[in-house]
Amino acid sequence: MSEQLFKVTIDNITVEVPAGTTILNAARKIGGEVAPPAMCYYSKLQGSGGKCRTCLVEVAKGSEKDPRPMPKLVASCRTTVMDGMEVKNITSDRVLDARAGVVEFLLLNHPLDCPICDQAGECHLQDLSYEHGKVGTRYEFQRRTFKKHDLGKYIQLHMTRCILCYRCVFTADQLTQKREHGVLDRGDHAEIATHIEKSLENDFIGNVIDVCPVGALTDKTFRFKNRVWFTKPVDAHRNCDKCCGEVQLWMRGDEVFRVTARKDEWGEIKDASNGKTGWICNDCRFEKKKASDWVIDGPSKVSRHSVISQGHYEKLVKPKETVVDVMNGSQPHLFLDIHDVSEVNKPTVTLSALDRPAHSTDFGNQ
Ligand code: SF4
Ligand code: FES
C-alpha cells in the first residue's frame, strides 16, 4: 500500500510528507531558517523532544478539513502535520517573541562562562542566544549552584550549564546496557546526577558529550586544551570491533586534540556508512589520539556560518592587500621590513603557504 502523503505549508513553502511526520521534521525537509531550532529533540533518540519549547510554531490553519487555527503556539517536535496544515515559524511575530522569552528562561541560570567553556563555538545555546536572545537579563536572583559530580574518568559535568534537555539521559538509556544517571528532583532543584556518585563506565557513554547541546558534559581528555575554531575537523576511520569507527578528528597540525562522532547539518550524529546511527565507542573517542591510529578521509564539511569555518582551510585564499585601502587610495612610499628589527615571524617561514593556522612548531625547526 502506498504511503499517505500530507501537504503542509510552512512559512509559505509547501512540502509533502508522510502522515505522522512532525512539523519540525517537515520543516527540516525544507531546510534553512524555516526549520525551528531544537534544543531537546534529537531524531536518533526515542522519546526526545517536548522539554525546551524552543521549537514553538504557530499553526495558522489546522487542516483542510478543519481550517481553524490552533489557539496556542505548539511544540513542533511533538505535533504531527495534518493535510492542508499551514504553519508559521519565522513569519510569525508571536513565535519570535515567544522564542525570545524561551531563550531568556534558558539563560536564567546559565552562567556566562563562554570564554572558558569548551563548547564555545559549537554551542547550540550560544547560537540560539545570538539569534533570539536579549542583551541584558531581567533576572535579579542568585543563579543556581550545585555540588560537583564526577562522572568518571572521561566526562566532566558542569551542572550549572545544563538546560535539562534529557538528551544524555535518553542516550545512556538507549545506548548502554545500564543507565546510572538521570534527572533528580524537580523544578528549580532538578539536576542531572549519577545515583550515589557512580561513574558512567559504559563503552558508549562518551556519546552523551556529543548529544549535549551546551557545555554541561565535556570531554576530560580535551578540556581547556584548545578552542574548537583553532582546530581543523577531518573525517577519519579505523577498523573498530565495537563501533562503526567513523569519526571526526579535530586536529592542529598532526596533533589530534579531540575525537567526536560525525554530525549532520542539524548538529545530530550522522548515520554511518553501514546505515546505522554513527555512535562511537569510548576507545575511539578517548584512547585513539594519534593520527597514526586513523585513516584520514579528508576535510569535514563545515557550515560556512559556523565560527569553526573561520579557521577551516579547505582551500588557500590569498589575503586582500589592504594598505592602499587604509591610505585612502595612496600608494605607500616606504615599507619597513619588520625582520630588519625583529626575530618574530622569520621570513624563511611562508605563513601564507600553510593550509592551517601556524603554531610554534612551524618556527621551532628554523
Ligand atoms: S547534561 Fe547536557 S544533554 Fe544532559 S540534560 Fe543537561 S543539557 Fe541536556
Ligand atoms: S525541541 Fe521541541 S520542545 Fe525542545
Q: In this structure, what C-alpha cell is assigned to residue 20?
A: 505522522
- The per-residue pLDDT for 351 is 66
Nearest bound ligand to the CA of residue 53:
2
Nearest bound ligand to the CA of residue 200:
1
Distance 110 CA to ligand 2 centre (A): 18
pLDDT tens-digit profile of 280-304? 999 999 999 999 999 999 998 877 6
Distance 112 CA to ligand 1 centre (A): 17
CA 62/CA 72 separation, integer angstroms: 12
Q: Is the CB–ligand 2 distance for residue 267 below 6 Å?
A: no
What distances in angstroms separate CA 43 from CA 164, 233, 268, 362, one per listed residue? 17, 23, 8, 43
CA angle centred on 242, ends 237 and 245, rounded to 5°: 10
Distance 77 CA to ligand 2 centre (A): 6
Atom of ligand 1 nearest to the CA of 163: 7
Q: Is the CB–ligand 2 distance for residue 75 below 6 Å?
A: yes
Name residue 217's beta-bridge partners. Answer: 157
Distance 165 CA to ligand 1 centre (A): 5
CATH T-level fold of 115-123+140-219: Alpha-Beta Plaits (3.30.70)
Domain ranges across the chain: 5-105, 115-123+140-219, 228-311, 323-364
Ligand 1 atom 7 nearest Cα: 162
CA 41/CA 35 separation, integer angstroms: 13
Name residue 10's beta-bridge partners. Answer: 13, 87
Distance 210 CA to ligand 2 centre (A): 18
Distance 274 CA to ligand 1 centre (A): 28
Residues of the chain with pLDDT under 50: 312-318, 366
CA 31/CA 41 separation, integer angstroms: 16
Number of residues written out for the chain: 366
Distance 155 CA to ligand 1 centre (A): 12
Neighbouring C-beta atoms of residue 25, cutoff 10 Å: 18
For ligand 2, mutation pick of 42, 77, 79, 166 (most atoms within 8 Å of CB):
77
Class of domain 5-105: alpha beta
Largest CA distance in the chain: 80
Q: Which of 17, 166, 14, 12 is nearest to 79 (CA)?
A: 17
- pTM of the complete model: 0.80
Nearest bound ligand to the CA of residue 49:
2
Query: Residue 361, class by beta-carbon neighbours within 10 Å (0-12 exposed, 13-18 middle, 19+ buried)?
Result: exposed
CA 177/CA 282 separation, integer angstroms: 14
> Torsions phi, psi of 206, nearest 5?
-60, -20
Ligand 2 atom 1 nearest Cα: 38
Per-residue DSSP letters for 12-53?
Answer: TEEEEEETT-BHHHHHHHH-GGGSPP-SS--TTSTT--SSS-
Where residue 21 falls (left for φ over 0; alpha for ψ -120 to 50; beta otherwise) is beta
pLDDT tens-digit profile of 36-89? 999 999 999 999 999 999 999 999 999 999 999 999 999 999 999 999 999 999
Query: Residue 305, class by beta-carbon neighbours within 10 Å (0-12 exposed, 13-18 middle, 19+ buried)?
Result: exposed
- The per-residue pLDDT for 310 is 61
Q: Is the CB–ligand 2 distance for residue 51 below 6 Å?
A: yes
- The per-residue pLDDT for 71 is 95
